[in-house]
């Protein structure tokens, strides 16, 4: 038996290639949209992809299962658990085999047993993997978004992201029951989860790639709690805001992702084309580092640096229903690939960074983002001549914030523009300054003339010993 974990750091997402060395057959579980990597990995090991499956209808990335099965001629296997709202619409046309609790199938000499583990989603399944030439007992479990290292899958996404009201508590209770059943398996069972640290699919995911059920029983808070009501309270509190694009991912993965058929590069556009795009309200993403953007950028563009958080913030801020454009320093292929991972396929063209210098002339200047340091901000708050917005997540704000500063997470800024006064200087602040730099660009693109970023964010503020408030303290209204 061969097991290879294929990990996407931007998505904090794990796929698994599991092969039988005797027959050369292999299965890929939870592939993302970059299907070439799985085909290459199998070829490097002398394997052929004969089966493709996934643990559930994903919310945080576009699944590659359908395309990988099509490209390789592999058997597609999909969950048929859950109610009618959580069935794969493309299963029949793709010739998929539908899976149910306790079903088994073979990949060469490797046995896979299906275990229905609802709670994160109604249709979620895990796979118990047995290397039959060695033993009749399972070696490990592909747990998807059910059990992680140090955490368990969140049951609130259907309500918070997919807007299915009243499902959070019911999902939490279902998840508790699934965990109690799972805990009856042998302690030696290895845990191969679908995500690592940094994923929004949980609140405390560990960075260690693998674990065992026995270890998780003593180290994972979600497996330690034996009281159902206590578990429900614990699993629902402190969860991070799910990105708005999660609902779109659910829809795409349920109806069937569009086949990409390989990579493509959008057209390089001439510099003089950007004026018309800005004028018509097109989304233009400047992917340079935040410091470069702050020093000078074309008014109307937004800044999402091409780093490990690029896909997350693009999913929050870039429209899925219309064309958008990029300003890239040569990493256009990387950016297009990362955007495709979450279904943002409508990159209609890109500009090279030289467009920024070309845009500026004696009659118009590049826009800048002013910076402010904590001590200066404290003085201006005392004078009451600024409005400060904390753009971190709610759990971060609850743990401690600048007194009388309201919380609007950066992903929700565009929904709350009417609450932010345009006649005052607006200071945006996050934990370190990275998210607030993105927030500043969003506000500027929406016509806010005087936007300032707090250098060092809340960490810099607290490090100076400046006042801190907590969630139970009343706030003054925005503005």
**pLDDT digits 0-9 by tens, 33-84:** 999 999 999 999 999 999 999 999 999 999 999 999 999 999 999 999 998 8
* DSSP character string of 148-193: -SS-B--S-HHHHTS--TT-HHHHHHHHHHHHHHHTTS-TT-EEEE
Residues whose CB is less than 8 angstroms from the CB of residue 115 and which lie 6 or more positions away in sequence, other chains included: 101, 102, 125, 126, 127, 128, 141, 182
DSSP H or E segment with residue 383: helix 374-383
Average pLDDT (7-26) is 96
Q: Which residues face 126 on adjacent strands?
A: 115
CA distance 197 to 148: 10
Is pLDDT above 80 for 293? yes
pLDDT at 46: 97
CA distance 48 to 281: 47
Residues whose CB is less than 8 angstroms from the CB of residue 113 and which lie 6 or more positions away in sequence, other chains included: 102, 103, 104, 127, 128, 130, 138
pTM equals: 0.90
**With helix as H, strand as E and coil as C, how does 79-130 read?**
ECCCCHHHCCCCCCCCCCEEECCCCEEEECCEEEEEEECCCCCCCCEEEEEE
CA distance 193 to 2: 17
Contact call for residues 242 and 316 (beta carbons, < 8 A): no
pLDDT at 475: 46
Measured from the Cβ of residue 132, the count of other Cβ atoms closer than 10 Å reads: 14
In the structure, what pLDDT confidence band is assigned to residue 265 with cuts at 50, 70 and 90?
confident
Q: Shortest CA distance to 147 belongs to which of 166, 125, 131?
A: 125
pLDDT at 473: 53
* DSSP character string of 13-71: EEEEEEE-TTT-EEEEES-BS-THHHHHHHHHTT-EEEEEE-SS--SSS-B-HHHHHHH
Tokens of 223: 């497996």
pLDDT at 165: 75
CA distance 438 to 453: 9
Average pLDDT (11-32) is 97
In the structure, what pLDDT confidence band is assigned to residue 479 with cuts at 50, 70 and 90?
very low
For 160-186, the pLDDT digits (tens) are 776 777 789 999 999 999 999 999 999
Intrachain domains 271-359 and 370-463 with the same fold: yes
pLDDT at 316: 93
Mean pLDDT of the chain, nearest integer: 93
Residues whose CB is less than 8 angstroms from the CB of residue 403 and which lie 6 or more positions away in sequence, other chains included: 467, 468, 469, 473
For 376-395, the pLDDT digits (tens) are 999 999 999 999 999 999 98
CATH H-level, domain 271-359: superfamily: Rhodanese-like domain (3.40.250.10)
Average pLDDT (313-337) is 94
Average pLDDT (201-229) is 92
Is pLDDT above 50 for 244? yes
* DSSP character string of 241-296: PPPTHHHHHHHHHHH-PPP--S---PPBPPGGGHHHHHHTT-EEEE-S-HHHHHH-
In the structure, what pLDDT confidence band is assigned to residue 233 with cuts at 50, 70 and 90?
very high
Average pLDDT (6-26) is 96
**Residue 394 carries which DSSP code?**
H
Is pLDDT above 70 for 335? yes
CA distance 466 to 457: 12
CA distance 380 to 420: 17
| Alpha-carbon distance values, 162 to 95, 174, 201, 258 (Å) | 27, 18, 14, 20
pLDDT at 313: 95
Q: Are strands 283-286 and 324-327 parallel, antiparallel or unpaired?
A: parallel
pLDDT at 177: 98
CA distance 76 to 68: 9
Is pLDDT above 90 for 243? no
pLDDT at 472: 54
Placement of tokens 């047993």 in the chain: 113
Tokens of 177: 């029951």
CATH H-level, domain 2-255: superfamily: Ribonuclease Z/Hydroxyacylglutathione hydrolase-like (3.60.15.10)
- Percent of the chain predicted with pLDDT > 70: 97
Is pLDDT above 90 for 3? yes
pLDDT at 151: 95
CA distance 418 to 212: 50
pLDDT at 361: 85
Domain boundaries in the chain? 2-255, 271-359, 370-463
Tokens of 91: 């299963």
Say if domain 370-463 classifies as CATH 3.40.250.10: yes
Average pLDDT (244-267) is 86
In the structure, what pLDDT confidence band is assigned to residue 478 with cuts at 50, 70 and 90?
very low
CA distance 107 to 18: 9
Positions annotated as catalytic residues are 430
* DSSP character string of 333-357: HHHHHHHHTTT---EEEEE-THHHH
Is pLDDT above 50 for 474? no
Please give the backbone phi and psi of residue 455, each rounded to the nearest 5 degrees, phi first.
Answer: -65, 130
CA distance 331 to 309: 15
CA distance 407 to 53: 40
């Amino acid at each position: 038996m061969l097991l290879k974990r294929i990990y996407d750091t931007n998505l904090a997402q794990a796929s698994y290639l599991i092969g039988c060395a005797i027959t050369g057959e292999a299965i890929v579980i939870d592939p993302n949209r970059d299907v070439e990597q799985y085909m290459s990995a199998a070829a490097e090991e002398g394997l052929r992809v004969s089966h493709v499956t996934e643990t559930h209808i994903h919310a945080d990335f576009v699944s590659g299962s359908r395309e990988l099965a099509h490209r390789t001629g592999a058997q597609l296997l999909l969950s048929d658990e859950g109610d009618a709202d959580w069935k794969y619409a493309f299963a029949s046309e793709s010739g998929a085999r539908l899976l149910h609790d306790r079903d088994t199938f073979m990949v060469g000499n490797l046995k896979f047993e299906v275990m229905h583990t609802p709670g994160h989603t109604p249709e979620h399944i895990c796979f118990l993997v047995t290397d039959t030439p060695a033993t009749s007992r399972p070696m490990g479990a592909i747990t998807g978004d059910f059990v992680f290292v140090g955490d368990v899958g969140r049951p609130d996404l259907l309500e918070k992201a997919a807007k299915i009201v009243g499902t959070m508590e019911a999902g939490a209770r279902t998840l508790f029951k699934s965990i109690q059943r799972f805990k009856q398996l042998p302690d030696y069972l290895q845990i191969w989860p679908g995500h690592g640290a940094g994923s929004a699919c949980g609140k405390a995911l560990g960075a260690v790639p693998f674990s065992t059920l026995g270890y998780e029983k003593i180290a994972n808070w979600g497996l330690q709690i034996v009281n159902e009501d206590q578990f429900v309270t614990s699993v629902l509190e402190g969860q991070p805001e799910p990105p708005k694009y999660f609902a779109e991912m659910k829809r795409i993965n349920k109806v069937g992702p569009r086949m990409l058929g390989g990579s493509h590069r959008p057209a390089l556009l001439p510099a003089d084309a950007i004026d018309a795009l800005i004028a018509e309200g097109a989304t233009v993403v400047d992917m340079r580092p935040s410091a470069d953007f702050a020093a000078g950028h074309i008014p109307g563009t937004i800044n999402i640096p091409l780093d490990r958080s690029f896909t997350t913030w693009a999913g929050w801020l870039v429209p899925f229903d219309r064309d958008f454009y990029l300003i890239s320093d040569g990493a256009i292929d990387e950016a297009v690939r990362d955007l495709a991972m979450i279904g943002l396929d409508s990159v209609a063209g890109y500009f090279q960074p030289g467009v920024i210098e070309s845009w500026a002339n004696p009659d118009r200047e590049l826009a800048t983002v002013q910076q402010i340091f904590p001590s200066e901000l404290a003085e201006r708050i005392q004078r009451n001549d600024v409005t400060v917005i904390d753009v971190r997540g709610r759990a971060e704000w609850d743990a401690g914030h600048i007194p009388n500063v309201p919380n609007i997470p950066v992903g929700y800024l565009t929904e709350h523009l009417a609450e932010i006064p345009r006649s005052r200087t607006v200071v945006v602040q996050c934990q370190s300054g990275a998210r607030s730099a993105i927030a500043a660009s969003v506000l500027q693109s929406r016509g806010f003339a005087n936007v300032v970023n707090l250098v060092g964010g809340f960490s810099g503020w607290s490090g100076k010993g400046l006042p801190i408030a907590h969630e139970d303290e009343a706030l003054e209204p925005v503005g």
